[in-house]
Amino acid sequence: MKTLSLLILSDQTIPNLQFIKEFDKQVDGYVILTTDYVQKKGIKDWLLSAAKVDENRVFEEISVQAHDYNDIETKLSQTIDESYEYLVNITGGTKIMSLACANFFKDLRSTIYYISYNNELIQIFPGKTKTVRPLSSPPITLEEYLTAYGFKIIRKAQPHIEDKLLEKLFHYHARRKAQEDAEFLEILQQHRSKKQLFIDAVQGFRDFLSRCCGGIFARKESLSKEEIKQLSGEWLEEWTYKKVKNQLQLDEAFMGMGVEVEKNGVKNEFDVLFVYKDVIYSVECKTSLYFLKGEGEQRRKKYFVGEVIYKSDSLQSEFGLKPRTFVLTMGDAGGIPEDHRKRAENNKITIIDRNDLLDGKLFKKLKIPVA
């Protein structure tokens, strides 16, 4: 007798991906309950691609009216082969779809499951007492997570800055006074697109490098384009990436730095993305609270928080129910305008500033318990 898995598709693809990873070796194939909306969006293809399930293993695809109990029940009755055994995941879809499937498959003496918000597998039926256990399958990788929501990874940057330089830059930025060396930091920003920056061409610049980097650049005549980018901000992405990787002992498959993704022809870039216990975390890294925009009297401060809020608004629903978004800055969060802070809070964006980092509160702010 064949055993099939029934999946109810919806915008939230992760519970079905988790279910496939948990039971794929125990089933012969899949029955998919879908809707016109899900079909038009291409969610089935995303899920199968993320789970690496061949289309030929989908025995049936049943399209129903998402909020019509009778339509769902009728189409299940017309399609489901009662000679098979079924493992049913009722985590996805509308409440009506889940309820209709639960009632229908109970009559077939199928095994019915629900995956909780805490990634626990709950056996709803059979049995009067619900059995609950953690998922035993391997955790979801970053590529699997993004693929399950229709994203393609275009590129990921690779760490290449020496740890010694990263630590020197961190301690310099974390402990400096707010306005100290602002002119030199702006010079670095202005030269990000240049091929090189001659160190002695700017008065006091060599002393600035000594303050922030020790003697690492003492014998150099100029900074390369790559070094300018590192010193003007890229170092913080890599510092954050390595802190998360080392502290959580994450394999590179679960995280990325300078990640560029594409969906429906639209590209977005993230400083640090990682998946931990099947939850995705996005960390935008900013050495300062703001950048200067305009020229002369029109030159104004533009705060990075607003930029991150805009990106978060556009992608929040695209990353599922549980994405966690953070702004990590080497500035003091107290300097962010109140309206920006409130908007960040309303958008569930957590700000991590240099005071948090100096106090060792990075993972507390990320809400990740670390032993």
Residue 214's pLDDT is what?
A: 92
Question: Quick one: tokens of 143?
Answer: 């590529």
Beta bridge partners of 61: 32
DSSP 8-class letter at 233? I
| Range in 31-40, 218-227, 328-337 the model is least confident about | 328-337
Q: Taking 50 as the threshold, does the pLDDT of residue 294 lie above it?
A: no
The residues, any chain, with a CB within 8 Å of residue 236's CB and separated by 6 or more, are 169, 170, 173, 285, 286, 287, 328, 330
- What's the mean per-residue pLDDT of the chain? 91
Enumerate the domain spans of the chain.
3-138, 155-365
Question: Which residue in 293, 314, 311 sits closest to 302, CA to CA?
Answer: 293
Helix or strand holding residue 291 (H, E): strand 290-293
Residue tagged 């519970």 (tokens) = 15
pLDDT tens figures, 53-70 = 999 999 999 999 999 999
Cis peptide before 126 (omega within 30 of 0): yes
Query: Strand 85-89 to strand 3-8: parallel, antiparallel, or no bridges (unpaired)?
Result: parallel
103 within 8 A of 70, measured Cβ to Cβ: no
Residue 326's pLDDT is what?
A: 92
Q: Taking 80 as the threshold, does the pLDDT of residue 76 lie above it?
A: yes
Residue tagged 């499937």 (tokens) = 101
pLDDT tens figures, 191-232 = 999 999 999 999 999 999 999 999 999 999 999 999 999 999
The amino acid at 137: S
Topology (CATH) of 3-138:
Rossmann fold (3.40.50)
> How far is C-alpha 176 from the chain's CA centre?
31
The amino acid at 247: Q
Q: Taking 90 as the threshold, does the pLDDT of residue 290 lie above it?
A: no
Q: How confident is the model at residue 301 (pLDDT cuts 50, 70, 90)?
A: low
Mean pLDDT, range 240-253, rounded to an integer: 96
Q: Taking 80 as the threshold, does the pLDDT of residue 280 lie above it?
A: yes
Residue tagged 């990320």 (tokens) = 366
Cβ atoms < 10 Å from Cβ of 100: 25
Q: Taking 90 as the threshold, does the pLDDT of residue 240 lie above it?
A: yes
Beta bridge partners of 285: 328
CATH code at 155-365: 3.40.1350.10
Q: Calculate the alpha carbon distances from 62 to 7, 71, 103 in Å.
A: 10, 11, 17
Mean pLDDT, range 105-116, rounded to an integer: 95
Residue 369's pLDDT is what?
A: 78
Please, which contacts does 177-186 make with residues 24 or more away whose CB atoms are closer than 8 Å?
A: 178/331, 178/332, 178/335, 181/208, 181/211, 181/212, 184/208, 185/232, 185/287, 185/288, 186/292
Positive or negative, the CA dihedral 211, 213, 219, 220 is negative
Positive or negative, the CA dihedral 286, 305, 352, 320 is negative
Of the chain, the percentage scoring pLDDT greater than 70 comes to: 94
> How far is C-alpha 79 from the chain's CA centre?
37
The amino acid at 164: K
